[in-house]
Amino acid sequence: GQNIDQPTEMTATEGAIVQINCTYQTSGFNGLFWYQQHAGEAPTFLSYNVLDGLEEKGRFSSFLSRSKGYSYLLLKELQMKDSASYLCAVMDSNYQLIWGAGTKLIIKP
Amino acid sequence: GAVVSQHPSWVICKSGTSVKIECRSLDFQATTMFWYRQFPKQSLMLMATSNEGSKATYEQGVEKDKFLINHASLTLSTLTVTSAHPEDSSFYICSAREGLADSGKLFFGSGTQLSVL
């Protein structure tokens, strides 16, 4: 079966760095996405990785290793507004998005 | 970026009534839209894929006669929850792809919180 694993919850301190991991097992691979979702709101797109390596976009970076079925989202210089759930999603061979359960990130002052 | 408008944002209704939720792509044409539901503290669950001009494709376990989807134009898809019951209370979110079918970048509507009394 298809499976996306990510931690349920993480806590970090304002100004620090946090890494949210995502491992996946899917039938085929056409890219991995990270979305941010604040409570009561719809998800917003953060990043897309289809090749191995690190993609940097401001304070957020996303890494992919296809051979390991592994990705992480790295958030630097954490701000209180970064408190949200972070969803990992993989596009399988049928171009269907398989969603992880999300990681709730709590930022403390 | 592309904008997807969804309304209403929230609705409270009596058990047994029907509720219609609209999803519009404002500045692009969306041949495919997706409907999700999300329970508190859980991830998105795909309900159905809505294709313009054809019948929707429902995920396993989703009752097509209860959740009616209509995608009459390239910019509008609607989800009607028929004869709603309290267990249908949930956060419903639509999304659309801009561009090619292999583009996984989705633009989401703002979601509809449905509460059935």
Contact residues on chain A for B41, CB-CB shorter than 8 A: 104
Partner A contacted by B2 (CB < 8 A): no
End-to-end CA separation in angstroms for chain A: 40
Residue B1: its pLDDT value, please? 64
> Residues 6 or more apart from B63 whose CB is under 8 A from it?
none
**Residue A49 main-chain phi, psi, to 5 deg:** -125, 130
**Average confidence (pLDDT) over B46-65:** 90
Degrees to nearest 5, angle at CA A98 with A97 and A99: 110
Residue B30: its pLDDT value, please? 84
Residue A29: its pLDDT value, please? 92
Token readout for B4 is: 């997807």
A97 by Cβ neighbours in 10 Å (0-12 / 13-18 / 19+) ranks as buried
Q: Which of B41, B43, B113 sits opposite A99 (nearest CB)?
A: B43
Partner B contacted by A7 (CB < 8 A): no
Interface with B, mutate which of A94, A96, A103 (most B CBs under 10 A): A96
Contact residues on chain A for B45, CB-CB shorter than 8 A: 99
Read off the pLDDT of residues B24-40 as tens digits, 9 standing for 90 and up.
999 888 888 999 998 88
| Cβ–Cβ gap A40/B111 under 8 Å | yes
Read off the pLDDT of residues B62-98 as tens digits, 9 standing for 90 and up.
999 999 999 888 899 999 999 999 999 999 999 988 7
Q: Kindly indicate the confidence band of residue B104, based on its pLDDT and cuts at 50, 70 and 90.
A: low
Residue A56: its pLDDT value, please? 93
